[in-house]
Amino acid sequence: MLTEYDFSVYRCPIDPTRQAKIILDDIHIRCERCKVEFKSREGIPNFLVSDAILPENCSSIKDLPCWKSGKK
């Protein structure tokens, strides 16, 4: 069960500064900043960026606030 995970220890893998927290939003695992959704498989969170689901109205990972945070 995902609810057994302590998501407070996780940070968004897209954020190079590792500031953005991962939250469990209902049943979805999301970055609280860029809202990217991470899948889980058999109850295990998958934080692979290549498998992540981009938020609506975002066509590229490079448009995400987390990605941009490391490109200044």
Binding residues (CB under 5 A) for Zn ion: these are 12, 14-15, 20, 31, 33-34, 66
Q: Is 11 left (phi over 0), alpha (psi -120 to 50) or beta?
A: beta
Rg (CA), the chain: 12
Q: Which is nearer to Zn ion, 10 or 33 (CB)?
A: 33
Least CB distance from residue 33 to Zn ion, whole Å? Answer: 5
8-state DSSP, 5: S
For residue 65, the minimal CB distance to Zn ion (Å) is 7
Could you tell me the smallest distance in angstroms from the CB atom of residue 35 to Zn ion? 7
